[in-house]
Structure formats: structure tokens, C-alpha cells
């Protein structure tokens, strides 16, 4: 957008646009502008702020990275579980899922799903979108969620304890759901989730714990008898089962 460019054609406007990673300077410009004028009107923002970016790009940068309440850093086990739950419920409606994970963006969740969950599902020779995968997740996940809305409203701060923590990119150091490929580890039955010594059967999602943990140990009261074993997902599972040291 140099002054020397007096000839303005649409193609030239396009070529004048910056792409690729944002610089610190651009970030500051965007932050400053939004601080003064607020969010929204992204195209106008893009024009008036002096940024050589599209409105879309500005919006994306702000929402996914610069916005103050955006959490950076690793997804907590609770968040990971929630994503699994919500995805089993809503599919790839990332923005919808993101609404239930304060501070997390749809982009981040989408990335998480694609890079980890989907990949591991592939290793398991399951299509996460396929019927059997959903089926295996669905019943217990759906059952595990009844309090979901209510969680969202009441316990955000306690449930979502994600911190920005390290800021390092070494995600693998964080406790995560482990999807063990049985082709590599013959100790595991096929189609199982393996989480912290517990094996979760993909077919029924029964808890076949190797640590002799009875379902009732999760200390929940389940009104619905058919979901007794599955409710670990939503209750103490996340809170008590995850132990970084044990996992690593």
C-alpha cells in the first residue's frame, strides 16, 4: 500500500495484501486498533488500521491468537475429554464445540482433533466419523453429557482449569488420551482406548480396568441405570484419573 502505487486495480490490491505469518508489528497494530474501536467491521478495520491484510485475516488473527481471553498452551485432559464428548454429539461443528471450552478456539479444537484424535483413530483402523466409531463413543458420551449445559454455566472456572502454562510447543509432554494401536501392542484387545492403565473397549466403551477400579469408585450417582459404567467420562474420570507422572 505504498503511495507510489497510484494505479489501483483489484489485482494490484490483492498483490498488495500481506499473507503468511503475522509480525509483531502487525499484531500491535491490530491490538491497538481494536482497543480503540472495538471488534467487528473487519473489512473496515483492515482498511483503516493500516494493516495490509484482509478483514478475514484480521478477524482470524484476533479471534485465534490475540484476543485476551484466548488460552494458549496445551489442552487439559478435561478439555480433551469434553472435545471427544461434544464431537460425538455434534460432529465437526467446531465453533459450537468451542463455545463450551472457554478460551479455546474452533481452530485449536479442529487442529487437536485432526492431528491427534483422527490420527489415532486411523491407527486403530477406525474412521472417527464412521458409524462404528461414533457408535462406540456415542452412547456413553451422550450419556455422560446430560449435565453438560449446566456445567457450562456453572462450573467454567473450576472445570476448565487450563493454564497457559509453559507456552512451549512440546505438547507430547502433556497427559493425553492414548489410543493404543493394537497392531503394535498385542497386549491390547482391538478397538480399545487405553488411558492410564485402563482399557476402554471401543465397542461398548466398557471400562475394563487393569487397575481393578470399579466404576462406582468414580463416585457418581447415575439415575439412569444403563449408563452406569460410562459416566466416568464426565465425572471423576477427568479429575482423578489423570496423572501426569503415571502417564509418563
Partner DNA sequence: AAGTGACACAACCGCCACTGT
Partner DNA sequence: GACAGTGGCGGTTGTGTCACT
* Contact positions with DNA (CB under 7 A) in 121-160: none
Quick check: 52 binds DNA (CB under 7 A)?
no
In sequence order, what E strands does the chain have? 192-195, 198-201, 207-209
- Which CA distances in Å does 119 have to 123, 125, 131, 200? 6, 10, 17, 18
Among 29, 34, 67, 96, binds DNA (CB under 7 A): 96
Only one residue has cell 488500521, namely 49
Cα 71 from Cα 177, distance rounded (Å): 20
Quick check: 64 binds DNA (CB under 7 A)?
yes
Nearest approach, Cβ of residue 120 and DNA (Å): 9
Quick check: 93 binds DNA (CB under 7 A)?
yes
- Which CA distances in Å does 113 have to 57, 83, 94, 110, 238? 23, 8, 10, 5, 18
Quick check: 171 binds DNA (CB under 7 A)?
yes
Quick check: 41 binds DNA (CB under 7 A)?
yes
Nearest approach, Cβ of residue 116 and DNA (Å): 5
Nearest approach, Cβ of residue 74 and DNA (Å): 6
Among 106, 231, 125, smallest CA distance to 180 is for 125
Quick check: 172 binds DNA (CB under 7 A)?
yes
For DNA, the binding residues (CB under 7 A) are 18-22, 40-44, 53-57, 59-61, 64-65, 72, 74, 92-96, 106-108, 110-112, 114-116, 119, 168-172
Amino acid at each position: 500500500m505504498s503511495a507510489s502505487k497510484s494505479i489501483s486495480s483489484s489485482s494490484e490490491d490483492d498483490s498488495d495484501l500481506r499473507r503468511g505469518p503475522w509480525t509483531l508489528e502487525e499484531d500491535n497494530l491490530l491490538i491497538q486498533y481494536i482497543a480503540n474501536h472495538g471488534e467487528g467491521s473487519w473489512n473496515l478495520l483492515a482498511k483503516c488500521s493500516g494493516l495490509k491484510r484482509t478483514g478475514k485475516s484480521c478477524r482470524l488473527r484476533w479471534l485465534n491468537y490475540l484476543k485476551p481471553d484466548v488460552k494458549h498452551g496445551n489442552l487439559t485432559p478435561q478439555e480433551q475429554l469434553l472435545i471427544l464428548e461434544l464431537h460425538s454429539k455434534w460432529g465437526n461443528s467446531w465453533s459450537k464445540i468451542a463455545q463450551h471450552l472457554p478460551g479455546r478456539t474452533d481452530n485449536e479444537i479442529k487442529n487437536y482433533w485432526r492431528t491427534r484424535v483422527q490420527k489415532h483413530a486411523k491407527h486403530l483402523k477406525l474412521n472417527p466419523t464412521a458409524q462404528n466409531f461414533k457408535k462406540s463413543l456415542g452412547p456413553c458420551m451422550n450419556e455422560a453429557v446430560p449435565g453438560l449445559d449446566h456445567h457450562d454455566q456453572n462450573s467454567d472456572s473450576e472445570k476448565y482449569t487450563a493454564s497457559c502454562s509453559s507456552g512451549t510447543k512440546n505438547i507430547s509432554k502433556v497427559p493425553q488420551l492414548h489410543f493404543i494401536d493394537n497392531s503394535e501392542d498385542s497386549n491390547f484387545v482391538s478397538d480399545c482406548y487405553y488411558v492410564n492403565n485402563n482399557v476402554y473397549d471401543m465397542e461398548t466403551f466398557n471400562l475394563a480396568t487393569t487397575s481393578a477400579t470399579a466404576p462406582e469408585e468414580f463416585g457418581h450417582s447415575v439415575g439412569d441405570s444403563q449408563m452406569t459404567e460410562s459416566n466416568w467420562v464426565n465425572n471423576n474420570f477427568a479429575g482423578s484419573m489423570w496423572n501426569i507422572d503415571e502417564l509418563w
